[in-house]
Structure 1
Amino acid sequence: MDPLDRAQDILLCDLCQKAALQSHCELCQINLCKACVGEHLSDSSKRHNVVPYKQRTSIPNFPKCTNHTQKHCELYCEQCDIPVCSTCIYSGKHKGHDFSYALQKLSSKPKILENDLEELEENIYPTYEEITSDLNSEKVNLEKHYEKLTTAVTKQGEDLHREIDIIINKQKSEIDEMKKEHLAALNKQQKEFKQITLDIKQSIADLKRILDSNDVSLTSAYKSKNVEFRILPPKFNVILPSFSPNQIKKETLNQMFGSLSAFSITKEEHGYTMKTSKAVSSPPVKPLLDKPELTTTIDTRYNLYSVSCLSDEEIWTCGNDKILKLFNLEGKLLKSIQTKSRNIALDIAVTMSGDLVYSDYDTKTVNIVKNKQIQEVIRLQRWIPWYVCSTSSGDLLVTMDSYDYKQSKVIRYSGSTEKQTIQFNSEGKPLYSSCCYVSENRNLNICVADNGARAVVVVNQAGKLLFRYTGHPSTTKGFFDPHGITTDSQSHILTTDTSQHCIHILDQDGQFLRYIDNCDLQHPWGLCVDTVDNLFVAECSSYKVKKIKYM
């Protein structure tokens, strides 16, 4: 029976709280009496849909209001960032606040769940399945390899007859022990992968159940485990033993029979790959030149903001133009790409795979160029993207400011998925001011040139503050004006000092080493280094990119 047909359960108008309700606005999800319908429709900023209460569509399973237990939270207060019911709104506590429809506000949550489900089904789960299958194959090959070893040792033993029975038995025993240790290690790792695979299957099932349900409380309570699953366990690196027979001489049977090579099992943290993560050997030490040398000048013919190396011979540039341009070192324009929105690209970066990434301030997006096709990777809400960096692990670091420019942060993305937020120090105070440029050091520290704070801010991979550099106390230089930032093979940190027309070089601990100020620099802005530590400087005012040898 409908509540309106029950005299003892008369429901009142959400607006006036006096008269019995007769109508229902499906846009705002509130109930109205006849007198309040006109007042509600007077708000022409929304396209209301008022219908008789009995003809209303079924009410979605909104979360219940914590303040009014008989009400559901149909709306969302943008200022308070909480779901609210109609009684909360008309109580006056949210006077002057902006509201949105709760389902619209939470509509992005299923998309996140769908993305997690897609990644689990298409990437993470198949990766674990494939690795588990590979371990089975490895066990089969293990049997063949050790059988081959045993056969070789047996054949050598038959040639030596009884004189070397003791040696044969000893080395067979060693093989068996190696085999047991190897098999035990593989069984242990296989068991671990099987358990994780079961957890992933459970997550997939849970996500499907949530997506099939209209229970928003389940959606709100969902906590993604994809970041945990994305970190693959270390892989065992096995150095298989081999048998090296020697020519038989009875007088030196023990020495000449042959020996098994050493057997070992070690763990390689990045042996399995969900994404590219190449280990890099320690580079040779390169001293800084006393006097850096200007080796090449490229005239781009437009104001420059950023430069990024595609190779040691080709550089991408962007500036006060909607065109991204690729030049060789002779200054020849090799390629031009117009931004998707026809707006200016604020910053660019080249990924490990050679694709170009750029930030679009006006559309609040980060985009990637693949085979001349531009794809949107990240779209921000209530934040403005500034500068981008492609990391050694294949992630993207993006600096951004809030709409009111009162907050600034660095976000790490894996594709379109947010993995890490770096915004506050251990005391809860902001790490950054505004207009921040970003680079990843060889030691995986995140280096930010915070122009608003006139400082270089460096945190470790976990986001813990390591140091702040606010310029060198030099009597020949004015205030510190950092813009572009980059790092090299020695973990030096290089940042432009635009107003002083120079570049500061710091060591990885933030200690000032020296300036580059002798190459006729004019408002240096963007920076990058190639694979052999040549520095490329994008000058904002001269339209030139300068290649400088400084090590």
Structure 2
Amino acid sequence: MLKKRKLLDSFFLKELEDEEATLHSLDQEWKLSGIRQIFFNRLIGEVGTLGCEPGQLIWPSSVTLTPTGDLVVKDSGNDRIQVFSPEGLQKHSFSYESGPVKCLGDIKATRDGRLLVTNGDKAVKVFTGEGRLIHQLTTPNVNYFYGLAVLPSDEVAVTDWSGGGKVHFMSVDWKERKILKMDVIEGFYRPTCMAVSKDEDILVTEGQLFGPHVGRCIKIIGKERVTQKKIGPIYGSNFDFMNPSGICVDENGNILVADKGQNCVVMFNPDLSLTAIVVKQDLQGPCGLCLTQQGYLAVADCYHHNVKIYQYR
């Protein structure tokens, strides 16, 4: 799985022979403040190739990590979920019903290993880790399930494009397999992916898939279920979002955002100041993001039909 690549470091301008030792020293020296262009691009592995066979992918649009460290990919072009070991070996796959538009929808793992899948239709499908469909979460209040987030309380947040755009918060009785309560926040435009911050804020990307050039930002919902802050579409004079898609938060609270329109991944500090462009090359349509157990960044590279693994720090 792993491939050796050269590392372009804009600070030191040299190749690093002893990678692990030097990377550790770099981590100690970095100060995550101010605007910097860090073309780190240390691609350390790729999962999947174009095709329909086991382990192959077409239009991977979302990726998540299970509690045991397996990498789970929404293989949208093949209408299936594929599960890979931490070493990148395909373990098994299972199908889900195709939605109205391919490449939309999401996948997230719960703390107990359930896999939640959306595909732009009116249900959140709940599978076991082995791929058995347990049940579906449905409600007449939601027309189109897209992005997913699982909160520490085991609530599920889901984005919905009806009425311009909404985010729903569902309290779920997992034993009884039903939704107990649902809250809704309006005022979004085609919200796509979501992540949960260390403070349990919900970070929502608004992409630019079709139509007028609106959205192109990140909106932040606080614990009070009110939209509190917004990042973009223009970030000072240094960076403009074009089509933000995947989003995740690392163990230090840094926010990583894939911009599908600019084929890059950018990182913000927990205080929302722009830190770096951490991936700028080798991507074509980055969608979903997640962090592996080793702290690497996994990127669903939709139009290269694989998942790329980066050491981004």
For residues 308 and 68 of structure 2, what CA distance do their matches in structure 1 show? 13
- Structure 1 residue 486, shift from structure 2 partner: 0.9
**Correspondence for 1:499:** 261
The question of 1:511 aligning with 2:273 is answered yes
Task: Please tell me the residue identity of whatever aligns with 2:258.
Answer: T
The question of 1:434 aligning with 2:190 is answered yes
1:402-551 mapped onto 2 (5 Å cutoff): 402=162, 405-415=163-173, 416-417=178-179, 419-424=181-186, 430=187, 432-452=188-208, 453-470=215-232, 471-474=234-237, 479-551=241-313
**Correspondence for 1:392:** 152
Contact 1:322/1:342, CA 8 A, preserved across alignment: yes
Do the aligned partners of residues 322 and 531 (structure 1) sit closer, same or farther apart at CA in structure 2, a change above 3 Å counting?
Answer: same
1:325 counterpart (65, 71, 82)? 82
2:60 counterpart (300, 304, 325)? 304
Task: Please tell me the residue identity of whatever aligns with 2:235.
Answer: H
- For residue 144 of structure 2, give the secondary structure of its aligned residue in structure 1: strand
- For residue 541 of structure 1, give the secondary structure of its aligned residue in structure 2: helix
Contact 2:80/2:94, CA 8 A, preserved across alignment: yes
Do the aligned partners of residues 420 and 522 (structure 1) sit closer, same or farther apart at CA in structure 2, a change above 3 Å counting?
Answer: same
- Structure 1 residue 408, shift from structure 2 partner: 2.1
Contact 1:325/1:333, CA 8 A, preserved across alignment: yes
For residues 29 and 307 of structure 2, what CA distance do their matches in structure 1 show? 24
- Structure 1 residue 356, shift from structure 2 partner: 1.0
Larger deviation: 536-545 or 328-337?
A: 328-337
The question of 1:366 aligning with 2:124 is answered yes
- Higher strand proportion, which one? 2
1:26-425 mapped onto 2 (5 Å cutoff): 290=38, 291-299=40-48, 300-310=56-66, 313-318=69-74, 319-339=76-96, 341=97, 343=99, 346-362=105-121, 364-370=122-128, 371-381=130-140, 383-402=143-162, 405-415=163-173, 416-417=178-179, 419-424=181-186
For residues 67 and 31 of structure 2, what CA distance do their matches in structure 1 show? 22
For residues 511 and 422 of structure 1, what CA distance do their matches in structure 2 show? 28
For residues 250 and 168 of structure 2, what CA distance do their matches in structure 1 show? 21
Do the aligned partners of residues 509 and 422 (structure 1) sit closer, same or farther apart at CA in structure 2, a change above 3 Å counting?
Answer: farther
- Structure 1 residue 287, shift from structure 2 partner: 5.1
1:9-24 mapped onto 2 (5 Å cutoff): none
Task: Please tell me the residue identity of whatever aligns with 1:434.
Answer: R
Do the aligned partners of residues 286 and 398 (structure 1) sit closer, same or farther apart at CA in structure 2, a change above 3 Å counting?
Answer: farther
CA RMSD of aligned residues (A): 2.7
Do the aligned partners of residues 473 and 287 (structure 1) sit closer, same or farther apart at CA in structure 2, a change above 3 Å counting?
Answer: same
Task: Please tell me the residue identity of whatever aligns with 2:276.
Answer: R
Do the aligned partners of residues 474 and 541 (structure 1) sit closer, same or farther apart at CA in structure 2, a change above 3 Å counting?
Answer: farther
Task: Please tell me the residue identity of whatever aligns with 1:443.
Answer: D
Task: Please tell me the residue identity of whatever aligns with 1:349.
Answer: K
- For residue 320 of structure 1, give the secondary structure of its aligned residue in structure 2: helix
- For residue 189 of structure 2, give the secondary structure of its aligned residue in structure 1: coil
Contact 1:308/1:348, CA 8 A, preserved across alignment: yes
**Correspondence for 2:15:** none
- For residue 383 of structure 1, give the secondary structure of its aligned residue in structure 2: coil
Cα deviation code 1:479-536 (max 9, x no counterpart): 5210111111111111111111111211223211111234422211111112343110
Contact 1:286/1:490, CA 8 A, preserved across alignment: no
For residues 87 and 181 of structure 2, what CA distance do their matches in structure 1 show? 40
- Structure 1 residue 303, shift from structure 2 partner: 0.7
Do the aligned partners of residues 501 and 473 (structure 1) sit closer, same or farther apart at CA in structure 2, a change above 3 Å counting?
Answer: farther
Larger CA Rg, structure 1 vs 2: 1
Cα deviation code 1:157-177 (max 9, x no counterpart): xxxxxxxxxxxxxxxxxxxxx
- Structure 1 residue 392, shift from structure 2 partner: 2.0
- For residue 303 of structure 2, give the secondary structure of its aligned residue in structure 1: coil
Task: Please tell me the residue identity of whatever aligns with 2:160.
Answer: M
- For residue 520 of structure 1, give the secondary structure of its aligned residue in structure 2: coil
Contact 1:359/1:385, CA 8 A, preserved across alignment: yes
**Correspondence for 1:220:** none
Taking every aligned residue pair, what percent have the same amino acid on both sides?
A: 19
Task: Please tell me the residue identity of whatever aligns with 2:125.
Answer: N
Structure 1 unaligned blocks of 5 or more: 1-283, 425-429
For residues 529 and 472 of structure 1, what CA distance do their matches in structure 2 show? 25
- Structure 1 residue 313, shift from structure 2 partner: 4.9
**Correspondence for 1:281:** none
Q: Which runs of 4+ in 1 moved over 6 A?
A: none
Contact 1:298/1:329, CA 8 A, preserved across alignment: no
Do the aligned partners of residues 483 and 286 (structure 1) sit closer, same or farther apart at CA in structure 2, a change above 3 Å counting?
Answer: farther
User: So what's the TM-score if we normalise by structure 1?
Assistant: 0.43
Contact 1:346/1:361, CA 8 A, preserved across alignment: yes
**Correspondence for 2:52:** none
Contact 2:106/2:193, CA 8 A, preserved across alignment: no
Contact 2:45/2:310, CA 8 A, preserved across alignment: yes
Contact 2:57/2:78, CA 8 A, preserved across alignment: no
- Structure 1 residue 366, shift from structure 2 partner: 0.3
Structure 2 unaligned blocks of 5 or more: 1-26, 33-37, 49-55, 209-214
- For residue 105 of structure 2, give the secondary structure of its aligned residue in structure 1: strand
Task: Please tell me the residue identity of whatever aligns with 1:385.
Answer: F
Contact 2:157/2:169, CA 8 A, preserved across alignment: yes
Q: Indicate the structure whose relative CO is greater, using CA pairs within 8 Å and at least 6 residues apart.
A: 2
- Structure 1 residue 449, shift from structure 2 partner: 0.5
- Structure 1 residue 369, shift from structure 2 partner: 0.9
Do the aligned partners of residues 286 and 523 (structure 1) sit closer, same or farther apart at CA in structure 2, a change above 3 Å counting?
Answer: farther
Do the aligned partners of residues 410 and 495 (structure 1) sit closer, same or farther apart at CA in structure 2, a change above 3 Å counting?
Answer: farther
Do the aligned partners of residues 466 and 533 (structure 1) sit closer, same or farther apart at CA in structure 2, a change above 3 Å counting?
Answer: farther
For residues 190 and 254 of structure 2, what CA distance do their matches in structure 1 show? 23
